[in-house]
């Protein structure tokens, strides 16, 4: 869990760690998770069909507005000035300068505020010179636009509108020629991967600023002033994270409120699968869960999506028996976060409601953190499996040795107190240290684990019983040969006891890695294992050579010749287990 926190993933429900390792689909919001969430207006298209470039990046209000290669003077471009003026007044974000520039509020609004500052238009300055806000219709996922109502210095009332370009173009009462021109400009900007907002106004508003009067005015018609194209660059690490997720057998689904064309362009830039059609929220509204479940098998991009649509996506993926991780940050995302197998809230921009509904919180809001968390989930489950594998094997070894002695009617190779020593002293520390194993190199190269699949499967039991039988056979052989060589029974039993102890300690290298021998440089990444092995070995030597333990444990000191029996009895089974693995892996590749 500490490793999760180091990787900026805060786990709220412990059971979700296991679920993370089984995740087969990650549904991620585009803005702020797949992208930097640093919005910058780079293109402006006004109704007069004039197009402008905007210089600068991020939230720094430095940069010129260009028409062709020439810097624009707003006094000479009235349509541009009106659009920027309306965009600034239809925003609530604030630009602050503290160790660089940042935005308090919505990043998209922040882009409009920065555009205004580049043109020397500022909301606070306008409000100080006679513009008074008298009402507001906040943005919501159903309408996909926002409206503010102002009284200007002459006493006239105005409405300023901004929102999804295709929605506002469809709602406006603009002439067909203007609508066609703006639709073409909208498509052209979306083809460049830009988020496109339409900005409009009503300059003869007669209402009182109430929601009802604003809606009535909107229904009566409004004037579109133009479009702005906003860039939100993908995070630098997201392309690699998506590639890693795909190699791990995990589908990545992008969910955005942007235009479908913008969504598809961004998906291509970050390496997502674009083979299926882009499904919009409006299309989902007309689909049943069964229809969406069929479509979602070949679709990875969802645009113009509402929080209600996100819940539809979760239900469709549940119908397809996928293990789904869903991201969210808003209050309305809570049902989708609750419905997903793993709800993931944003730690920086997420609401408290979203965090409470989630299973995991990203403290850095990055998509790559989700992939890191999936990897850690797989590692944690692997380590639990290794712990069980090691202890089951060790217990079966002891059972087998005693059973063989009873069947063949030879003296007991190990005594009850020696078994207790093995279980409580020799085995426990290495087994517990497996919790700190760093994870195998191929952990993100295999498909997600079936959550319905038990740990103790047929293949798992075959592995445990097979390994245990070989190690037990080595111990029993060392004991019997020692007796046949004429050694004292106490010496022979000490040899068997030591062979069993060191055979089990060496067995940890079989357990560490599923496909190879675990004695490699990755061992240095788990100092707890090295310490536990050393401590267990020292304690075992004390039992053999200290007179007090000789009396209590009925052991005897061993000489160099005796240690040859111990070495052979513990190392030969180790070699046979590795040979078994090599043969098994070759059969799989044939």
Catalytic residue flag (residue 29) = yes
pLDDT digits (tens, 9 = 90+) for 215-272: 999 999 899 999 999 998 898 899 999 999 999 999 999 999 888 989 999 999 999 9
pLDDT digits (tens, 9 = 90+) for 346-394: 998 899 999 999 999 999 999 999 999 999 999 999 999 999 999 999 9
pLDDT of residue 86: 95
The rounded radius of gyration (Å) of the Cα atoms in the chain is 34
| Main-chain dihedrals φ then ψ at residue 554, nearest 5 degrees | 55, 50
3-state helix/strand/coil string of 279-339: EEHHHHHCCCHHHHHHHCCCCCEEECCCHHHHHHHHHHHHHCCCCEEEEECCHHHHHHHHH
d(CA 307, CA 291): 19
Contact 209, 134 (CB under 8 A): yes
Helix (H) or strand (E) holding 29: strand 25-29
Helix or strand or coil: residue 538? helix
Please name the residue that has the structure tokens 């209590």. Answer: 552
d(CA 475, CA 497): 8
CA 297, distance to chain mean position in Å, is: 20
Let me know the angle formed at the C-alpha of 391 by 389 and 394, rounded to the nearest 5 degrees.
105
pLDDT digits (tens, 9 = 90+) for 499-540: 999 999 999 999 998 878 888 888 899 999 999 999 999 999
- Structure pTM? 0.84
In the beta sheet, which residues pair with residue 52?
A: 44
| Structure-block tokens of residue 88 | 């600034």
Q: Domains of the chain, with CATH numbers?
A: 2-35+235-365 (3.40.50.1000), 40-231 (3.40.1110.10), 379-589 (1.20.1110.10)
d(CA 90, CA 113): 10
d(CA 164, CA 143): 9
d(CA 339, CA 242): 23
| CA dihedral over 201, 207, 211, 217, signed as positive or negative | negative
Please name the residue that has the structure tokens 């901004």. Answer: 162
Contacts 24+ apart (CB under 8 A), 148-156: 148/89, 148/90, 149/205, 149/207, 149/209, 149/214, 150/89, 153/129, 154/130, 156/203, 156/204
d(CA 220, CA 234): 39
CA 576, distance to chain mean position in Å, is: 40
| Structure-block tokens of residue 96 | 């602050």
pLDDT digits (tens, 9 = 90+) for 28-60: 999 889 998 889 999 999 998 889 999 998 899
Count Cβ neighbours within 10 Å for each residue of 271-294 and write b for 16 or more, e otherwise.
Answer: bbbbeeebbbbebbeebeeeebbe
Question: Would you put residue 365 in left (φ > 0), alpha (ψ -120 to 50) or beta?
Answer: left
In which band, very low, low, confident or very high, does the pLDDT at 291 lie, cut at 50, 70 and 90? very high
Contact 182, 224 (CB under 8 A): yes
d(CA 340, CA 126): 46
- Average confidence (pLDDT) over 553-574: 94
CA 88, distance to chain mean position in Å, is: 35
Candidates 29, 333, 341, 365; catalytic one: 29
% of the chain at pLDDT higher than 90? 71
Of the candidates 192, 107, 198, 99, the residue with the CA atom closest to the CA atom of residue 147: 198
pLDDT digits (tens, 9 = 90+) for 119-145: 999 999 999 888 999 999 999 888 899
pLDDT digits (tens, 9 = 90+) for 70-90: 998 888 899 999 999 999 999
pLDDT digits (tens, 9 = 90+) for 437-496: 988 888 999 999 888 888 888 888 988 999 999 999 999 999 999 999 989 999 999 999
Neighbours of 347 (CB within 10 A): 19
């Amino acid at each position: 869990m500490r490793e999760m926190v180091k990787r900026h993933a805060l786990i709220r429900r412990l059971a979700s760690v296991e679920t993370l390792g089984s995740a087969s689909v990650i549904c991620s919001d585009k803005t702020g998770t797949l992208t930097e969430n640093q919005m910058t207006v780079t293109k402006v298209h006004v109704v007069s069909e004039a197009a402008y470039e905007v210089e600068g990046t991020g939230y720094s209000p430095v940069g010129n507005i260009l028409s062709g290669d020439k810097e624009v003077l707003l006094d000479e471009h009235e349509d541009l000035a009106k659009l920027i003026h309306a965009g600034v007044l239809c925003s609530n974000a604030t630009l602050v300068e503290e160790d660089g520039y940042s935005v308090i509020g919505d990043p998209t609004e922040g882009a409009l505020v920065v555009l205004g500052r580049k043109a020397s238009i500022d909301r606070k300055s306008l409000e100080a010179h006679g513009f008074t806000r008298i009402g507001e219709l906040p943005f919501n996922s159903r309408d996909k636009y926002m409206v503010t109502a102002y009284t200007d210095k002459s006493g006239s009332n105005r409405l300023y509108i901004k929102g999804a370009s295709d929605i506002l173009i469809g709602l406006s009462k603009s002439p067909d020629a203007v609508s066609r021109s703006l639709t073409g400009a909208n498509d052209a900007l979306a083809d460049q991967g830009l988020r496109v907002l339409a900005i409009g106004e009503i300059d003869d508003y007669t209402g009182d600023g109430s929601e009802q009067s604003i809606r009535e005015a909107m229904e009566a018609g409004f004037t579109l002033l133009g479009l702005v194209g906003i860039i939100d660059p993908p995070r630098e690490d997201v392309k690699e994270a998506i590639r890693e997720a795909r190699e791990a057998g995990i589908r990545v689904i992008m969910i955005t409120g942007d235009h479908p064309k913008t969504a598809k362009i961004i998906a291509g830039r970050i390496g997502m699968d674009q083979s299926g059609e882009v499904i919009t929220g409006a299309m989902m509204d007309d689909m049943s869960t069964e229809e969406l479940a069929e479509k979602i098998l070949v679709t990875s991009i969802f645009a113009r999506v509402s929080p209600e649509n996100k819940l539809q996506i979760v239900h469709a993926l549940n119908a397809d028996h996928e293990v789904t991780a869903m991201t969210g940050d808003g209050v309305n995302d809570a049902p989708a976060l609750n419905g997903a197998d793993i709800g993931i809230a944003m730690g920086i921009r997420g609401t408290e409601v979203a965090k409470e509904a989630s299973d995991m919180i990203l403290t850095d809001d990055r998509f790559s953190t989700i992939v890191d968390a999936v990897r850690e989930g797989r590692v944690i489950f692997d380590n639990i499996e290794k712990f069980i594998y090691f202890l089951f094997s060790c217990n079966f070894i002891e059972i087998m040795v005693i059973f063989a002695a009873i069947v063949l009617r030879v003296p007991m190779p190990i005594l009850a107190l020696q078994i207790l020593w093995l279980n409580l002293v020799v085995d426990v520390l290495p087994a517990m240290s497996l919790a700190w194993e760093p994870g195998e190199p191929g952990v993100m190269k295999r498909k997600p684990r079936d959550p319905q699949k038990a740990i103790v499967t047929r293949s798992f039991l075959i592995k445990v019983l097979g390994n245990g039988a070989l190690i037990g056979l080595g111990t029993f052989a060392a004991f019997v040969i020692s007796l046949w060589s004429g050694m004292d029974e106490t010496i022979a039993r000490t040899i068997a006891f030591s062979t069993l102890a060191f055979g089990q300690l060496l067995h940890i290298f079989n357990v560490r890695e599923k496909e190879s021998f675990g004695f490699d440089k990755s061992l240095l990444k788990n100092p707890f294992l090295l310490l536990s092995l050393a401590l267990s070995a020292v304690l075992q030597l004390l039992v053999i050579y200290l007179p007090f333990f000789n009396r209590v444990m009925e052991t005897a000191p061993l000489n160099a010749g005796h240690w040859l029996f111990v070495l052979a009895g513990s190392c030969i089974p180790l070699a046979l287990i590795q040979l078994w693995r090599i043969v098994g892996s070759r059969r799989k590749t044939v």
